[in-house]
Structure formats: structure tokens, C-alpha cells
Structure 1
Amino acid sequence: MDSLTQIALGSAVTLATMGRRTAAWKAVFWGAVAGTLPDLDAFIDHGDAMLNMVLHRSSSHALLTLTLLSGPLAWLVARLHGETPYLLRWWLALWLALVTHPLLDAMTIYGTQLLYPYTHHPYGVGSVFIIDPLYTVPLLIGVLAALVARGRDGRRGLRWNAWALVFSTAYLGWSVLAQQHVEGIARASLQSQGIAAERVLVTPAPFSTVLWRVVAMTPTHYLEGFRSLADGQDQPMRWTRHERGAGLYAAYQGNAHVQRLSRFTHGFYRMSAAGGHVYITDLRMGMEPAYSFHFDIGTREALAAGTPTRAVNARQRPDLDTALPWLWRRMWGNEGNTP
């Protein structure tokens, strides 16, 4: 999730755990710090754009790493504020603030290596977009209510914070139910059209859980469709069909870049070629024809010769003037033309 959301979640969790044992501002500040720490790995350059992508949310987001970090961080905070009698409570609060960061990240589609170093598997439920105001805003309201509350109102502020956490958690549960609902509709649509999909991906369109994007993979193509919860019950899904570059994969499947992204995306990728260069694209983040992770992995000659190459992210930026109005209309059940 985005940095503001992680700061809000870390602060809210620490506030709820510490209660009135410490000043609200201390809980908010250190919760924000703990909610930010895992993402500092984004500043590490691994020397390759694809490595930077797949190694983000790895060791710094591992539950084991963050559990080990929570003890020293809690000791430092308790000593700094002269609150050593509450050391164990600070430990619990900061541990929760640290581990809820990757657990929330795992609700997005990116891929979070929760069990590193035991496995490098990138977990991603994919039921929420990386920015979702309906999740973030209640947390911010709860934290702010606790900060401005004074005296007797302090308890009321903490109750606001607690209810914000309940609402945001329930919203995550709702997102999973909505995702499963749309997946059922998508699979039925594919089956009715005689399309044998190897795998199906269902993720929310930006900023809400009302409109959903569906990607279905076949051996030679991938299909993209959209489903809004506002669509009529009998309204059929419309699919667009695209080449996934099966021939290019057959030719370069032994390449390290291809193997790496194939594993990380769980098979939701495409390959293409242009200007003598070969590209591999993560189909999970973006929509036709623009994707956040579109890697130039080298020339055909270099790949054929087995020459090591550096992957470069040639990100495809969407036309926001077209895409955003279309997303808004489509969210409310207006089919229209694709952006």
C-alpha cells in the first residue's frame, strides 16, 4: 500500500495497543515510524530494474525479520521516554505496527515475501488497490481524533481510533468477498464462450472495490475484461484478446529475466518484441495498453548469444485524460468504449 496508508495503519495500531499508558502523540509517532520502516528497502539499488522490483517486499517485509526488529525498537522507545515499566506493551504495540505493514501489502497484487528466508514465494491476495481512500481515510480520522482529544475526551478519541480499525479491517474482508464474487462471474463468462483459461486474475481497478479488472491466460493469448458491481445481473462480460508472445517465450525461456518475472507474476506476463529488443511485461499492474512494469531485457542478438543483460523498465504511462473518465463511467455500469 502507499506510504500514507502504512503510516496511518501503524499509528492506529500502536494507539489502540498502548491506550492511555502513554501520550497519544508518542504512540502515533512511533507507530508511524514502525509503519514506514519496511518500505525503506525501496532506496536499495540492486543494479537492475527487475531485481529492484522483485526484491522489494522481501527481507524487509518478512515476518521473521520484523519480529526480531520489534524487540530492540521497543527497548529504545521505552528507554527514550522513561517508560520501561511498559516495555512489554511497547514491544507488542510496535510488533503489531511492523507486521501489519506486510500483511496489508499482501492484500495487494504486487507480491510480498512474508515467509522469507524460508521461501521466496510472493504472496498477493489482490483484493485491494495500492491506494484506496475507503481504507485509508477512516484510519486517518481515528488517529486525528485521538490526537486532538484531551482529558475525558481522550477515551472518546481512542474509541474513534478503535472503530476506524474495525471498519478498515471489515473493508478488507469485504474486498475479498467482492473479488470472489467477480471471479465466479468471470469464470462462468469464459466457460460460456468456450475459453479454456489456464489461470484467472481478478484485481480492483484504481481507488475502489466497485470496478474489477480480470485477466485470463490461455496458452497463446491473454484476455482482459472489466466487471463492475453496478453491472446488471444478466449483463455479459466483454473481453479483449491479446497475444502473450508464446513464440518469444519458447525462444528465451531459459533467460534469467524471463524466469524471474514468470515466477514473480505467477504466470501473468506477456512477451513482445520491437526495434530488435525483447520485452517482458507484468500484466497484473496496469491495464491495456499501459503497464507499470514493462521491461526491456535486451536485444535479440544478445539474448540468443546468452550475453548477460540488464533489465530496464520502459514503463508504459497511461493517458490519464482518457483513462480516468472511462474508469469513473465504467465503475457505475456504463460499458462505453475501452480507454
Structure 2
Amino acid sequence: MDSLSQIALGAAVGVAVMGRRTAAWKAVLWGGIAGTLPDLDVFIDHGDALRNMTMHRGFSHALFWLTLASPVLAAAPAALHRQREHFARWWLAIWLALVTHPLLDAMTVYGTQLLLPFTDHPFGVGSVFIIDPLYTLPLLAGLAVVLARRDARGLRWNHAGLLLSTAYLAWSVGAQWHVRGVAQQALAATGARDVPLLVTPTPFNTVLWRVVAMHPDGSYDEGFYSLLDGGRPLRLRRFEGTVPERAGLARLEPVQRLARFTHGFYTVHVRRNHAWVTDLRMGQEPHYAFAFVVARADGARWVPLVPRNQGSRGDVRAALGWLWQRLQGEDVPPPGWSAAEAGVQRLPSAVTDVTDRVSPSSSTSR
């Protein structure tokens, strides 16, 4: 999640644990610091852009290492504020502020390596976008009251903010499950059963969802479903892609790394004698946050390159305008789809429509 959300969560947890044992501002300060500490790993250079991307949310987000660090970090507020008698409470507050950071990150699609050093598996529920005001605002409201009132009623507001934000996460999982059912029925109607399926919210909300389905030939479908669509069928569009084996890129370490980190939701393409790998989870056609140039052609062989990120955002204003319309259930095509048909950006010119004729409302029987 974004830094503001992590600071707010850490501060709210600190206040909840410390209660009236210390001044509210102290609990807010130290909880906020602990809540944002894991993200300092962004300043570590792992050698290239792709490794930096896949190794972010690594050891600094591991529950094991954060647990070991928590008593050392808790000693600072206990000593500075001369509250050694409350060291156990500070320890609990700092530990919870630390571990709730990666647990919240794991609710996004990015990939958080919670269980290092035992496994580097990147966990990602993908039910919330990295910035979602409906998650963050209850936390900020509760903290504002705590700092303004500094009494028991302020603490209750803080508890309420934590409860509402947690309930919102639970709602996001339920909404994601519903949309997944809609998408599975849409794909089944086209004969595509049991294909890898990604369902994630579009920016800043949990009403409009993006669906990506991967096919064995390297192609993939993209579609959008709003909870306000009112029973309109889910429409998917097919985009061509290349499997790394077919392109002769399967042995390249960056390709293998991204394939594992994205759980297979990536694509390979070749343009102007250069090979690219693109993370299909973050963005939408034809613009993605992470698209790496990894090799160049030299006759019949590929020469590895130091991966560099060539991701793009596109026209943000146009995308936000479409997002607001589509979120409300209006049947408007994404800006990227028309661009794809025109062969703009990295997409091949061949685009196939796959339109579902199964009513989304039928998924409620699942």
C-alpha cells in the first residue's frame, strides 16, 4: 500500500496498544515510524530494474525478521520517554505496527515475501489497489480525533477507524470472489476452462474490477466488470502474446524471475530486434507499470541486456475519465482497447473479440 496508509495503520495500531499508558502523540509517532520502516528497502539497489522490482517487499517485509527486530526497536521509545516499565507494551505496539505493514501489502497484487527466509514466495491477494481512500480515510479520521481529544472517546474513535478499515479489506475479498465467479462463467462460455485467472480492482476503488486470463499459447484476455453493471454480460478482448519457449527466451534469468514473481501473468514480445517482458498485473492495455527490455537479437541468438524498465502510464486524465464512467456501470471501452486495435504501443495488430453471453447475475448461484 501507499506510504500514507502504512503510516496511518502503524499509528492507529500504536494508539490501540498503548492506550492511555503514554501520550497519544508518542504512540502515533512511534507507531507511524514502525509502520513505514519496511518500505525503506526501496533505497537498496539490487543491480538492475527488474531485480529491484522483484526484491522489493523482500526481507524487510518478512514476518520472521520483523519479529526479531521488534524488541530492539521498542527499546528506543521506552528509553527516550523513560517508560521502561511499559517496555512490554511498547514491544507489542512496535511489533504489531511492523507486521501489519507486510500483511496489508499482501492484500495488493504486487507480491510480498512474507515468509523469508523459509520461502521467497510472493504473496498477493490482489483485492485492493495500492492506493484506496476508502481504506485510509477511517484510519486518518480516528487518529485526528485521538490527537484532538486525548481522552477515552478519542481512543474509541481510533478503534472504530481500525475496525472500519479492516472491514473494508474483508469487503474487498468478498467482491473479488464474486467477480471471479462472473469471470469463470464468462470464460467457460468460450470454452476456456481452468485457465489462470487474475481479478484485481482498478485504481482507487473496489467497484470496478479488471480481469486477465492467460492462455497456453501466450495470448491473454482482458475485461472489466463493475458491480454496478446491472447484469450486463462481461466482455473480454483477446490480445496476442508469445510464450518464452517459442521466442527462445525461456533460459534468460530475468524472464524466469518475472515469470515466477508474477505467477505467470506476464507476456513476452519482440520489437525492433529487442525482447521485452511485461508484468500484466499492474496496468491495463496497452500501458503497464513494469515492462522490461531484457535482450537484443544478434543473428539467431539473444544477447542478454541489463533489464531496464520501459513501463508507461499513458494519458492519465483520459484514463481517470474512463474509470469514473465505467465504475458507474456505463458501457464505454477502455482507452487502451482502441489504441491496441490501431497497433499503438507494444501490442500486435491482431486483436480478437471474445464476448461473453452469460449474464453476470447468474454467478450468485455459485
**Normalised-by-shorter TM-score class:** over 0.9
How many percent identity over aligned positions? 57
- The aligned residue for residue 230 of structure 1 is 228
- The aligned residue for residue 104 of structure 2 is 104
Which runs of 5 or more structure 1 residues have no equivalent in the other structure? none
Per the normalisation by structure 1, the TM-score is 0.96
Counterpart AA for 2:156: R
Alignment length (residue pairs): 334
1:275-294 Cα distance to aligned partner (Å, 9 max, x none)? 11100000000001100000
- The aligned residue for residue 127 of structure 2 is 127
- Rounded to whole Å, the distance in 2 between the matches of 1:245 and 1:205 is 25
- The aligned residue for residue 202 of structure 1 is 199
Per the normalisation by structure 2, the TM-score is 0.89
1:47-98 Cα distance to aligned partner (Å, 9 max, x none)? 2000000100010000011101100111121011100000000000010000
Match of 1:258, SS state, is helix
Q: CA deviation at 1:181?
A: 0.1
- Rounded to whole Å, the distance in 2 between the matches of 1:291 and 1:86 is 48
Q: CA deviation at 1:196?
A: 3.7
CA contact (8 A) 1:248 1:271 kept: no
CA contact (8 A) 1:38 1:60 kept: yes
Q: CA deviation at 1:269?
A: 0.2
CA contact (8 A) 1:302 1:308 kept: no
Q: Residues 2, 95 of structure 1: CA spacing in aligned structure 2 closer, same or farther, 3 A cutoff? A: same
CA contact (8 A) 1:211 1:228 kept: yes
Asked if 1:53 is matched to 2:50, the reply is: no
Match of 1:239, SS state, is strand
Which runs of 5 or more structure 2 residues have no equivalent in the other structure? 336-366
CA contact (8 A) 2:184 2:193 kept: no
Counterpart AA for 1:293: F
1:279-313 Cα distance to aligned partner (Å, 9 max, x none)? 000000000110000001021229925x5421000
1:205-255 Cα distance to aligned partner (Å, 9 max, x none)? 00000000000010121000000000112x111111111212665511011
- Rounded to whole Å, the distance in 2 between the matches of 1:249 and 1:170 is 45
Asked if 1:296 is matched to 2:293, the reply is: yes
Counterpart AA for 2:305: T
Counterpart AA for 2:210: R
CA contact (8 A) 2:294 2:304 kept: no
Measured on the aligned residues, the alpha-carbon RMSD in Å equals: 1.3
- The aligned residue for residue 257 of structure 2 is 260
1:1-339 alignment, distance < 5 Å: 1-150=1-150, 154-196=151-193, 198-220=195-217, 221-233=219-231, 235-246=232-243, 249-301=246-298, 304=301, 307-339=303-335
CA contact (8 A) 1:249 1:271 kept: no
Counterpart AA for 1:110: Y
Match of 1:107, SS state, is coil
Counterpart AA for 1:330: R
Match of 1:223, SS state, is strand
- Rounded to whole Å, the distance in 1 between the matches of 2:204 and 2:104 is 16
Structure 1 runs of 4+ with >4 Å offset: 247-250
- Rounded to whole Å, the distance in 1 between the matches of 2:152 and 2:118 is 42
- Rounded to whole Å, the distance in 2 between the matches of 1:337 and 1:7 is 37
Counterpart AA for 2:220: Y
- The aligned residue for residue 352 of structure 2 is none
CA contact (8 A) 2:107 2:127 kept: yes
